[in-house]
Structure 1
């Protein structure tokens, strides 16, 4: 049920000039209710109970194992790689990428000696490809400008390493170097918002700054790294988005959103003897961190927090894609024409099949758009095309974009000379065996999967069956391109 909020005004008479000063001050910094701050006793309880919980329930993650057994500088690298990978990506996905990355580039020095192409290849499928680029640039900065040493303070980490923001800097500085600084990610925002009844819009920079300030007051001075890791784990496993386990939560005694929920539940049943024992919790309308009046929903309970603005729906974009291929050196094998995306922007410097934006006209016009652009960008004339056919549609979801790819099989004549491109920064012919060695996005892998599936011979039931050539290829390469590409994910981030 909904409950009216209370507001206690405490204003003394002031002069006209003082009124103006007060108004100006309120414009700069609106009031924050004291309930959003932890008391000294609550801080001590918070630290003790959270660290006790973490010692028993902390997740066993590869970067933590590596960090525990490393000196500070190596620990900083281990933490930095993991934190950059974990931005907008689930732990389960990151674990396998992390192990492969660290096996190939175990130190800043190893990573700095790699190429951008190699980094893109290793990052392929992980999403948000700019993260890999920035991590690579950070390694080069450490080796070329910083004498091989990572800055040890969060302020210097943000100042000197590209792509390192306040959260990543806080994680590295606290875990690797023991600096008493918070590391506030989505999990921490959720935990603190529920504990302190923070109903301000968590997408607001002002509200997030307040949460950082609150987080700074609770970081354990003796164990800042374990405390920050405990906060992350607690939000990921106990104080979750959809299924928080409030009744068994070790922090429910200091959780105001839990108390508010219990209060409101008790109000529905006045026979509940606990109700008179619980303190009343006020929601103050003019506090920027309080839940706005009328926003409380008892059915949600603690899930009223954190409060976010509604996201705009993802943008829908459509593309026509040409899988251009030809016979390879008069052999019974194919090679495929691929182009490299621009150095900046979405999927920067990744390889893909030629694709062009369309506005979903009818299918014949889509094919016309493709052929006209292939001639303009790559010099493919109609008499160079042995056959062309529509083979299917692939949908791919980014965090803020929904892409639909209409795929055409473009078989070129054997005598066709190598292509050039006026629309992309680079191009190359790629054999099937070479596919695992080039950097391409999950969406491109899905396109190739559709192409391969449609070109496989059909069995008696009409389903695709691998040809003897593909069967030999799969048998020869346990981690073959076909197997790899048939295991792609449904979505990724830019």
Structure 2
């Protein structure tokens, strides 16, 4: 087993040195930059993250800058990346590091996991890549690589399977270059040992991969039945007055809290889209509207549900509005609309208004 592990390390590191992708966070050993990249990469594709990471590091290059940045600025930088709790946890962690740790990111997995938004995987990645400590990682890519390399599946016992994977990761991890080895595992899963149509002929460890040798790569890991995501239909209104548009801020402790949006909500059973919007505006603004026309339909997919957003131009029928259920509300000029952070679907409404 010792020689087998040594072969994996040697082959994988040699392959990584030769073929690794040129990614911006691989050009630095700055712990803060590596931390930011790892948080952004959670459940998000590399190609999506790159421009967000580069913009973030340019505007907020240090922990102190992040700790002192207003939340609205942070949410605007994160706009469109999704899972906004990640951005909020970065801010919370930066404040803790700034106030209690002399501005220095912790090095060990144990200490890193005490910070908001950092779990075992992220802690291992930061500890090994930024500080060169022997800290294993398991993410979706590594899980798939190990499942095929050792021909192991969860067989319905997920916790036992996870424990087995962490033990393998611990055993395989070299004392020298642990960060590079962890990145090599992730790189292999992301570029070669992919979920569908893996390119096994390009794999540096194919000659010692049990699934490849048994011609059963596609059997590992076992796939779970996908649960069909729920479809939600939403009506939203563009309400303008004196060349200003109405927007409201979502309550800070709720879903996508702190982001701004156009008023509206979910369609209830038996309602038309127009009836839905009139009811929602009545509830949210305590006002009545006249609907002019439908201007666009936006489809957006979240982790567990799909939203179809129907957007209408509207006119207020009341001189006074009394918004409730939101953090705050504003009338904003079109030229200033892009200064506010919106959820991804609402960003498309902003684009429609500012570019038409």
Same fold (TM over 0.5): yes
Q: TM-score range by the shorter chain?
A: over 0.9
Aligned 8 A contact 2:239 2:315 in 1: yes
Instruction: Quickly say closer, same or farther: Cα 1:361–1:243, change in 2 above 3 A.
Output: same
- Report deviation, 1:244: 1.5
Q: Aligned runs of 1:311-330 on 2, under 5 Å?
A: 311-327=226-242
Q: Which has the larger radius of gyration?
A: 1
How many equivalent pairs are there?
A: 356
Distance in 2, matches of 1:103 and 1:143, equals: 19
Q: Of the candidates 82, 86, 92, which is equivalent to residue 41 of structure 2? A: 86
* TM-score of the pair, normalised by structure 2: 0.94
Distance in 1, matches of 2:157 and 2:117, equals: 20
Aligned 8 A contact 1:131 1:163 in 2: yes
- Report deviation, 1:243: 2.4
Q: Aligned runs of 1:191-206 on 2, under 5 Å?
A: 191-201=145-155, 204-206=158-160
Q: Aligned runs of 1:17-166 on 2, under 5 Å?
A: 39-67=1-29, 75-159=30-114, 161-166=115-120
CA RMSD in angstroms comes to 2.0
Distance in 2, matches of 1:87 and 1:116, equals: 20
Distance in 1, matches of 2:157 and 2:227, equals: 13
What does residue 123 of structure 2 align with? 169
- Report deviation, 1:208: 1.4
After superposition, the C-alpha distances for 1:171-229 in whole angstroms (9 at most, x for unaligned) are 11011111111111111111111000012258923311210111110011111011111
Provide the secondary structure at the position in 1 that maps to 2:113: helix
- Report deviation, 1:372: 3.2
Aligned 8 A contact 1:202 1:307 in 2: no
What does residue 179 of structure 1 align with? 133
What does residue 354 of structure 1 align with? 263
Distance in 1, matches of 2:186 and 2:133, equals: 17
Aligned 8 A contact 1:201 1:306 in 2: no
After superposition, the C-alpha distances for 1:246-289 in whole angstroms (9 at most, x for unaligned) are 1232201210000111xxxxxxxxxxxxxxxxxxxxxxxxxxxx
What does residue 440 of structure 1 align with? 342
* TM-score of the pair, normalised by structure 1: 0.69
What 5-or-longer segments of structure 2 have no aligned partner?
none
What does residue 6 of structure 1 align with? none
Q: Aligned runs of 1:206-285 on 2, under 5 Å?
A: 206-261=160-215
- Report deviation, 1:167: 0.6
- Report deviation, 1:157: 0.6
Distance in 1, matches of 2:295 and 2:157, equals: 42
Distance in 2, matches of 1:391 and 1:245, equals: 45
Provide the secondary structure at the position in 2 that maps to 1:198: coil
Instruction: Quickly say closer, same or farther: Cα 1:303–1:203, change in 2 above 3 A.
Output: farther
Q: Of the candidates 278, 297, 302, which is equivalent to residue 371 of structure 1? A: 278
Pairing 1:344–2:253 present:
yes
